[in-house]
Structure 1
Amino acid sequence: MTSLVEDAVTAPSMHNAQPWRFVHRTGGRTVALYGDAERVLPVADPDNRALHLGCGAALFNLRVAAAHHGWTSDTHLLPDPGDPWHLADVRLRHTDGVDRDLADLHPAVRRRHTSRFPFSDERIPGPVLDGLRAAALLEGCRLITPGAWHTDAVMELVRDAEMLEAAGEAVRAEIAAWTRTGDSGEAAATEGIPADALGPRQYGVSAPARDFDTQRHLPDRDAAVFEEHPQLALLGTVEDSPADWLRAGQAMQRVLLQATLDGLATSLMSQPLEWPELRTSVRDPSAPTGFVHMVFRLGYGPAGAATPRRPVTEVLSLR
């Protein structure tokens, strides 16, 4: 169980808040996943949608790790209507029919990192994008690769979100609380975004990668020119319920792991999705996806630095 959870918690989460808890009852083969109410982001994520996405990604990693170790996992989302923090139960079974597609993703679990570096202008081949779309469909979600006009519109919304963020004292304070620069008085070094994962500053106009250092201006960061035409993908669902958020989190992680195996660098762009007045404008009105949950930036470039994770002893309870 410790090994499974060690893989599970490599999942991404907003500001690397790691908002998950796992409970395993000794003698059984079920692990319960809970959202951690003490690790919410009340300004940027007041509805806990991003929390569900991160926990869904951890849930998918758990399924991948289980398959790698020869287990089949039966997942039940939101098993307790009276406890909204009880997000999923996963029952493990030994069978001869392990999901090889899940198991084959395991090498990417520890290799996947968010890259906040510039990507090259090399275009991603169509078959690779088709594979990422198929990965999302396997988790009940849709992945849309926007055309030129839609990409430009999304990037404009990213810039709008940056302006709202710059003008919002509360959101800036929340981001600063989850950014680790080594200053005294900061929270634990096992959480948040460390300085070596920030990537370079954008030289010139706004970058497609979020800059977590807009307030402190760390002196040792380089500046770089980012790609002029980023390659984006939008992950969405028809409905917008907590169960949809958990499915989207699993699809998000499946896409990220498949992209990592395909040799792609990836980063997540949630800025316009954090503002209700912008989120509805992100989607393509002609597409069947009703609600966008994540914007991916994909391409060929440097791999991102690993971000810290809390030890399993802090996130796994044995009862």
Structure 2
Amino acid sequence: MVSAGTQPEGAAMATTTLRYTRDDLLDAAPAAGRAPSMHNSQPWRFRLHDGAIDVLLDADRALPAADPHGWGARLACGAAALNLELALAIAGRPADLTLGPLPNDPSVLARLTPAARRPPTPTEQSLYAAIALRHSNRGALRPDPVPPAERLRLRQAAETEGCWLELVVGSVAVEAVAGIARVADRTLARDAAYMAELEQWRRFSHSPDGVPTDSAAVDPSGSMPQRPFGGPGQPEADNPSAEPLIAVLGSATDSPAEQVRAGIALQRVLLTATDARLAVSMVSQPIEVPSAREQLRLALRRFGVAQMVMRVGYGPPGWPTPRRDPAETVDAAVE
């Protein structure tokens, strides 16, 4: 994974006689496609390339209003790369991961090269099992605090992938972050193109992508903004928590490769949280608005760049969102 097996951006792959097959890719693609993405746009494709597997950016699924520079798409592809890596490891076919965009093909955001065969580790097994159970939970959370041991696990998950996770502590600090998020949300709501694009991804019936209204219910008492995809607000939990744990994921820089890295770290945090029976929803509005992102950096007093805000706590399982047929995300092999 990124902590041990990832080579720097642009580094040459080690020469190996091991090769992935199309069957390896087809077996792993369903798990890869369970990654999160903005508006559930699923902006990834997978390709067998000279015995390696590439994760590519699918430009046809771009969000020009919400994600004009491709930040969100690169995070999503990084998350898909981690799922793909876990699925291969579970099959006894672990990978070394090279971060893109690759110099000779910028559409490749990650390349997985076969490593020596070995059985999966207990961590790989638990994270892989969490892939199918991970769903965003925008509803009300219980007041139970997240224990210190689980907070440490979340921070370590981000650090394993070369990123950091700041857990916002104290009502004043939490309200500061929530206030930044609310201002960003209001800014985006005034953008007609942004709101029109959001409406395009709202789904009222079965669809392989987008956000169904019946999975978009939100916590009516929450201080963090949620996207207005529709659906009724969930009833408040018994003795609801006024402030769930707020976590901010960040990376050292904001280069395209670091955004891919942040996506890998984000997915590891989300899967770790799912394994700990924690509910998580992502709040990207303060990242999407440049002025809000800078305010967030100043409020955290943290070196680096914020890449995602999350609310974390205990609550009922979230609703799954649809996914495309995995075969539709796999390109023909390139040899």
Offset at 1:72? 1.5
Give the distance between the partners of 1:57 and 1:111, measured in 2 at CA.
15
Aligned-residue RMSD, C-alpha: 1.9
Identify which of 97, 105, 119 aligns with 1:83: 105
Offset at 1:208? 2.4
Structure 2 residue matching 1:120: 3-state secondary structure: coil
What residue number does 1:208 align with?
A: 224
What residue number does 2:29 align with?
A: 5
Amino acid at match of 1:212: P
Identify which of 211, 214, 221 aligns with 1:196: 214
Deviations 1:78-126 (A, max 9, x none): 2631432111110123423644422331110100000111101111001
Deviations 1:165-212 (A, max 9, x none): 221111111111111123xxxxx8100101111014625xx6525132
Identify which of 147, 151, 165 aligns with 2:169: 147
- With normalisation by structure 2, the TM-score equals 0.86
The answer on 1:315 being equivalent to 2:329 is yes
What residue number does 2:255 align with?
A: 241
Structure 1 unaligned blocks of 5 or more: 183-187
Give the distance between the partners of 2:118 and 2:31, measured in 1 at CA.
22
Offset at 1:8? 0.6
Contact 2:249–2:309, Cα closer than 8 Å, also in 1: yes
The answer on 1:261 being equivalent to 2:253 is no
Offset at 1:162? 2.1
Identity %: 35
Give the distance between the partners of 2:252 and 2:179, measured in 1 at CA.
24
What residue number does 1:166 align with?
A: 189
Structure 2 residue matching 1:50: 3-state secondary structure: helix
The answer on 1:128 being equivalent to 2:139 is no
What residue number does 1:71 align with?
A: 93
Give the distance between the partners of 1:112 and 1:241, measured in 2 at CA.
27
Instruction: Spell out the pairing of 1:229-308 with structure 2 (5 A cutoff).
Output: 229-284=243-298, 287-308=301-322
Contact 1:72–1:99, Cα closer than 8 Å, also in 2: no
| Cα distance change of structure 1 residues 61 and 223 upon mapping to structure 2, 3 Å threshold | closer
Structure 2 unaligned blocks of 5 or more: 1-24
- With normalisation by structure 1, the TM-score equals 0.90
Give the distance between the partners of 2:189 and 2:151, measured in 1 at CA.
34
| Cα distance change of structure 1 residues 80 and 211 upon mapping to structure 2, 3 Å threshold | closer
What residue number does 1:21 align with?
A: 45
Give the distance between the partners of 1:20 and 1:241, measured in 2 at CA.
19
| Cα distance change of structure 1 residues 49 and 121 upon mapping to structure 2, 3 Å threshold | same
Give the distance between the partners of 1:209 and 1:198, measured in 2 at CA.
13
Offset at 1:289? 3.3
What residue number does 1:61 align with?
A: 83
Contact 1:116–1:209, Cα closer than 8 Å, also in 2: no
